[in-house]
Structure 1
């Protein structure tokens, strides 16, 4: 299996500090530096204060002892002097107290060693208080006996300094913690719009213009948020304008201006693809319906009233088409309409045609009263030996037969031919294939324009029957009618995930049925299955038809968001049919569009479709959405698509389907 081009992911810078972290780091560091400087300054000032106290205490002690030795006792008596010094020294407030004679000889004294008095030794070493010496003279009358030197004990000073330091550190930590918390709160509050702006920028990167920033902060940030909101509004308005433009182009190129149904050329082109394409060719029936005496009605009631009648008729036909999966309708000319129902037998077609004609007859008769009016229809079966032009001729012949009847009626082109199983046989074939897991995967390459590399392989399912393998285009419309498409889709998803696990380089794309997407249980089972598949699910593309997006908007939204969370790419399949508004791309994250092959067929000679596709590519690319083309059957078609810049193309010209188990 060839590799798939990886989806472009938004570039993320890694390892760079955020603005909030930078502000917190800088301001917090500055706050801590100020607090530490204040703590160091306070410690130094108190240390100086304690040193001054020690010096004063030593000086006072020396003076007191000197006076006592001079006057209270006879300083010439060593024993008396020793007793006096002992009594004073025993107070424990002195480190050293020594009495020297006038020649410097020791007379009496006491000394001890420095102790921290319960203070850690490292703190004593750190503080390293100076030990000033207090000195006083000892005299007797006019005779100088000697001097006293006193050193105060620093233990209490170290203890006081230790307690004060602990208090300052605790206070600094409290102030610092409170300050950092207030700083964090303030910075977070001030920069809160930046987080919202980041999310808004990411949303803009995903082409989601709905995100708004309503957080108020500083004047500068408020100006930035207003500018970002204005830019999002402008981009959203631009996209809305582009969506309206592409919708207008689609209407001009492919829709009837009065009824909104497909134009004659658009219907014929889609019918040709449905009937003649090898992969899509399937059983089905074509209705041609005409209002009798419409020219007289137009003359009698006027053109405006005639247009309103046609619009009412188109409303009934549109409802009929919505009730039949895969059906499509168009206005051919005047009051003639065409409807194609894939996967329908002629017998069922005749019954449904009668029911539709009765409803149309009621609308026509009410508006035309008192005129007598009728509605006629022709039914023709799509057969393998009948191309689109021959099918149209057969239906037209049946319509002419019906118009010979004097009342509302429809006729079949080949009443003796059905050519396909009846409904119960179809039900049995599909049920047996589901119950016995008789489903095979067929793959067709979607190639990158210009280099032939693969984007993915499109998955088609086929079931086994007594007639051989039946293509999806044959049995899927019938399975939708019987409510069995969800079971088939579950089998396809499981088989595809097994194939992805077995082939690590493969990338696959599959399309889900409308009933499957609308089913809550199916969506839940699908998400659980993808979650258990692991990383291999990232190589899967899930397609949802544009009609399904339009008619099941809520269910599609839930599924698309769940798939986005699992990194599973989602694309809109059969894009362009049915006149669905383009605005859903604004609210849902799709990674790709797959243009319906009715727009691709003959695009080299179809200027309107070429211009339409060119506009789709430009708008989709502006939203970051890839555009793929299907049904490429000629080299000229492929050349035009390459020139238009589509991201990938698929068709028999580029590669035919092959069974998944093959080595192709």
Structure 2
């Protein structure tokens, strides 16, 4: 089952559970603010309580004097009924806790007393502030003339004090909470703005640790952090330039190791390595033809005109060869040694390939003859057909035999090695068969898992197509060159796209990858159709990866740029496929926004034992990762290769060792 990738950013190892600096400062400053507010509230409340105690004492004193005067002058203090009525009237005001009138002359006592706890006030609050009730008790004398009738004692009821203090405390706490919350919010905003520079620096440092030197931290608000930010940005810039220089150095070393210095074509070793990958790989079955081309009498030409002129002729010969292979997708050519060249044409028939090569030989003969004035020169070619049973050694031997036959005539000639095998369809037949298969949607899809290097789980399923041609299910390696030649790739890719979008709907936990042909990339109508379909698909497009051959990037740069821009807006992802053999310079790692590259199988074969292949992969991985680009590989066929690739830091790969293509998911 496909494991979806988590997009969220995880904290670096070893820092989980550590309190952030912002939280520490916020807690510390918040604690100080809280202490200040609590102290302020406490001081204010205690002061108001003291004021309330004084008010209640004065109230008790005034009450005692007023009742005493009333009993002394207004009514007869010896009249029990009248005195009781006066005390009841005074007590009913609910402002007194206790009123006691003791008449000495008549010997009676009148007393009224209320409950201490006022209604609506929590008992804990009463116990907490506990007003001194004894201080609220005041006594006055009751007299008539010079005769003392008795004493009246009045105690103010603290209920009003508790009510007022309860209200004041709630108001103080509410105001303190508002002020505290506002202060904490302001503090949080200040800390967030101030420490944002540290967060940016953390992100930048994490990016640098992943060798992504494009990340730049914005200028900080404080002088000290601004200096640190400037230093980090300068370091990232210096490291980026260092890696850029390393990329150029690797490109240069790659040219030295894999390209012929005189002609710019691939070297003998690189040519046969790619042929071996195309012919021997278990992942693909590649039909086509291979040709060896020789310039006759080149040794004599060098002797008469000099080596410098000879190198010039080799470069002139290489130009039409380079133009020739550029016309046929997937083909490549190399200088093998001296005046010998090799050409591989995938997917073509023997008759078709022989015809095209004869035309090329005539062109080369004209270039060679124009330079070799005064000499009888010729160009020879031996052509062999790639079959399912072919290997590199047998193909080389077949080409040598055909080349010997061509040289025997001492005239420019292209000889096809006769090999037993089925008669292949001609170009016209192929075109008709392909159009019929596409129109009738006789297509079958296989799914090859791309396995993650980190945990061995499936990252995505690479879609491979088969067409039913003349009653036989033909692999893509056979029909794709013809499909490209006849400009049918856009129609085929539309058909594949429709089926892949349905798969995304029925398999919501899986990612898929499909290849877009070079001619489809260059087709503006196809790109518009692709944009329309992906826009309609919505979120499904984010689980679809598009493979574009590196050769398409090199030959259709503006079209690929338009495709990349469209995918970036919609959310689709792009893989540069067959990386390393398309001829595009490293600079497009910086100029194009793509998510992954897949190194060609020719660099993966025997990567555990061929130092040049290992060096190439080892060099590509950190450069790609520094740009935020994942590195996949193709053609992993042994456990030793996979083990070495995982050590080199690749992100995932495909190949028969990892998983074979399947028809059902």
RMSD: 5.7
CA–CA separation in structure 1 for the residues paired with 2:607 and 2:116: 107
Per the alignment, residue 432 of structure 1 pairs with: 436
Per the alignment, residue 530 of structure 2 pairs with: 522
CA–CA separation in structure 2 for the residues paired with 1:4 and 1:146: 101
Q: Summarize deviations over 1:561-603 as a string: whole Å, max 9, x none.
A: 689x78x8x7654333244444656776756644423762798
Q: 1:431 to 1:46 in 2, by over 3 A?
A: same
* 1:149 Cα deviation after fit: 1.6
CA–CA separation in structure 2 for the residues paired with 1:602 and 1:155: 93
Match of residue 389, structure 1, among 382, 396, 404: 396
Q: 1:494 to 1:220 in 2, by over 3 A?
A: same
Per the alignment, residue 554 of structure 1 pairs with: 561
1:171 and 2:175 aligned:
yes
1:133 and 2:127 aligned:
no
Unmatched segments (≥5 aa) in structure 2: none
Q: Assess if the C-alpha contact under 8 Å between 1:594 and 1:630 holds in 2.
A: no
Q: Assess if the C-alpha contact under 8 Å between 2:361 and 2:379 holds in 1.
A: no
Match of residue 663, structure 2, among 634, 650, 660: 660
CA–CA separation in structure 2 for the residues paired with 1:311 and 1:359: 11
CA–CA separation in structure 1 for the residues paired with 2:448 and 2:304: 54
Match of residue 45, structure 2, among 26, 43, 46: 43
CA–CA separation in structure 2 for the residues paired with 1:90 and 1:446: 93
* 1:429 Cα deviation after fit: 1.5
1:214 and 2:222 aligned:
no
Q: Summarize deviations over 1:44-87 as a string: whole Å, max 9, x none.
A: 33123112101112113323444565578775566776787688
Per the alignment, residue 55 of structure 1 pairs with: 57
Per the alignment, residue 329 of structure 1 pairs with: 333
Of 329-338 and 245-254, the range deviating more from structure 2 = 329-338
Q: 1:499 to 1:167 in 2, by over 3 A?
A: closer
Of 312-321 and 165-174, the range deviating more from structure 2 = 312-321
Q: Assess if the C-alpha contact under 8 Å between 1:96 and 1:110 holds in 2.
A: yes
* 1:281 Cα deviation after fit: 2.6
SS at 1:413 equivalent: strand
TM-score (norm 1): 0.72
Q: Assess if the C-alpha contact under 8 Å between 1:101 and 1:107 holds in 2.
A: yes
CA–CA separation in structure 2 for the residues paired with 1:596 and 1:532: 30
Q: Assess if the C-alpha contact under 8 Å between 1:289 and 1:378 holds in 2.
A: yes
Q: Assess if the C-alpha contact under 8 Å between 1:575 and 1:596 holds in 2.
A: no
Per the alignment, residue 340 of structure 1 pairs with: 344
* 1:189 Cα deviation after fit: 0.7
* 1:475 Cα deviation after fit: 0.5
Q: How does 1:440-519 map to 2 (within 5 A)?
A: 440-441=444-445, 460-466=464-470, 468-489=472-493, 511-516=515-520, 519=526
CA–CA separation in structure 1 for the residues paired with 2:473 and 2:140: 124
Q: How does 1:101-140 map to 2 (within 5 A)?
A: 101-102=103-104, 105-106=107-108, 120-122=120-122, 126=126, 129-131=131-133, 132-140=136-144
Q: Assess if the C-alpha contact under 8 Å between 2:290 and 2:399 holds in 1.
A: no
Per the alignment, residue 256 of structure 2 pairs with: 252
SS at 2:425 equivalent: coil
SS at 2:141 equivalent: strand
* 1:247 Cα deviation after fit: 1.9
CA–CA separation in structure 2 for the residues paired with 1:39 and 1:363: 103
Q: 1:83 to 1:470 in 2, by over 3 A?
A: closer
CA–CA separation in structure 2 for the residues paired with 1:74 and 1:337: 143
CA–CA separation in structure 1 for the residues paired with 2:534 and 2:378: 46
CA–CA separation in structure 2 for the residues paired with 1:631 and 1:97: 104
Match of residue 630, structure 1, among 619, 623, 635: 635
* 1:179 Cα deviation after fit: 1.5
* 1:250 Cα deviation after fit: 1.6
Q: Assess if the C-alpha contact under 8 Å between 1:361 and 1:374 holds in 2.
A: no
Q: Summarize deviations over 1:449-508 as a string: whole Å, max 9, x none.
A: 9x9999998764332222623222211111123333344445556777889999999998
Q: 1:103 to 1:500 in 2, by over 3 A?
A: same
SS at 2:551 equivalent: helix
